[in-house]
A and B are shown apart, each in its own frame.
Chain A
Amino acid sequence: MAIVDAEDRHLLEAFRRGEESAFAALVIKYREGVYRVARRMLGSHEDAADVTQEVFIRAHRALPRFDGRSQLSTWLYRITVNLCLDARDRRARISLPDADESLLDRLATPGLDEEAQRRELGWLIARAVAALPPRQRAMAVLRLYQDLPYQEIARIMGCSEGTVKATMFAAVRRLRQTLEAQGVRAP
């Protein structure tokens, strides 16, 4: 149990003693991170909610056997990413709507209120991220939105740090091209 942080270790031990409230505390601690990864990867709230639920069900089953060789968050994100990749394999395509010309026009309109502009820009970015190949998308989400170090991403994805580095470069380059093609310019 050398890697797991002190708070998680304490909660894990309590859970193993049969205290369900310890598991509830772990859920509260990690549910938003898990949901955010799933939401960015799958593109819809419903799918992300289902995956988040499944992650904690599996965690509840497997926690007694968790060996502590990685951070609990790393372990949970690995379950999340695997479930998201499986969910996407089962679906033919992402559920985000196609590009809307009028939306791009509206983005360029100076009169559009700032909040609406921010929301629509967020939609375009989510769409560009969702269009990345699955593993590139997983790495981009974990780095850009969860701020995980490359070493942890490599553990989650089961590859070397060098692969993460090269994949991240390719992902960011691709995102830049997609956003430029959609008319999104530098801030």
Chain B
Amino acid sequence: MTPRCRQVLECLVEATTGTLSPQDRTGIAEHLAVCAGCRREAAAIETTVARLRGAGAFAVPPGFWAEFTDRLQARIALERQPWPLRMRRWMASPRHAWGTLAAAAALALAVSAAVRLTPPRSPAPDPVTLRARGLVTETMSATLPSLGEVLDTWRAGLVLETDGVTDRRPP
């Protein structure tokens, strides 16, 4: 089979079904006149296409299109409803209602379990306290166990002074 044969064979269905330009059709006819193999193939394709096209259309059952239109309009109307209404229709089916209920219950359980099992987080110390604690050595803590409380008390007073709420300095 020559490259021209392959080219012609690929155009045969198009030529047989009638969409090829007159120029291309002439080119194919010229090749078929000199190539017996392609001529046989062309005849077989023509016969097959005629057979396939002659099979006829499928008939739909009587009343099908009227029922089709009704169903289509019903579905489109359903799609146009606002979502609470659609939800209500969805929940009207017991299968959907139980499914949604089960999913909601599972979600509630998962959220409550996550809340309970998460360890409580202590509030982050402010930068002033952090800096003061950095200065406290182990020896200082051992000598004065309540040093932490002293520091907190000192810090509380410092904040009040800075804010200008109380002025405890002697006049």
Contacts and interface: CB of A to CB of B under 8 A. Distances in A.
A60 B77 CA distance: 11
A172 interface: yes
Nearest to B71: A53
A179 B44 CA distance: 12
B9 A169 contact: yes
A186 B51 contact: yes
Interface string B55-80: 11110110011001101110110010
Interface string B7-42: 001111110010100000000000000000000000
A57 B69 CA distance: 11
Contact of A36 (B45, B58, B72, B75): B58
Contacts of B12: 169
Contact of B68 (A53, A172, A175): A53
B54 interface: yes
B50 interface: yes
Contact of A186 (B47, B56, B61): B47
A169 B75 contact: no
Interface residues of B, number: 34
Contacts, number: 86
Task: Classify chain A's interface size.
Answer: 35 or more
Contact of B56 (A23, A39, A49, A118): A118
A187 B54 contact: yes
Interface SS of B by simple majority? helix
Interface of B: 9-14, 17, 19, 44-45, 47-58, 60-61, 64-65, 68-69, 71-73, 75-76, 79
A35 B55 contact: no
A168 interface: yes
Given A57-B79, A172-B48, A187-B50, A35 B11 contact: no
Interface string A8-38: 0000000000001001100100010001100
Given A61-B79, A187-B47, A187-B50, A126 B55 contact: yes
A77 B17 CA distance: 20
B9 A57 contact: no
28 contacts: A23-B76, A31-B65, A36-B58, A40-B58, A45-B60, A49-B64, A52-B68, A57-B76, A61-B79, A122-B55, A126-B55, A129-B52, A143-B13, A143-B17, A144-B17, A144-B52, A144-B53, A150-B19, A165-B13, A166-B10, A169-B12, A172-B45, A176-B45, A176-B47, A179-B48, A179-B51, A184-B51, A187-B47
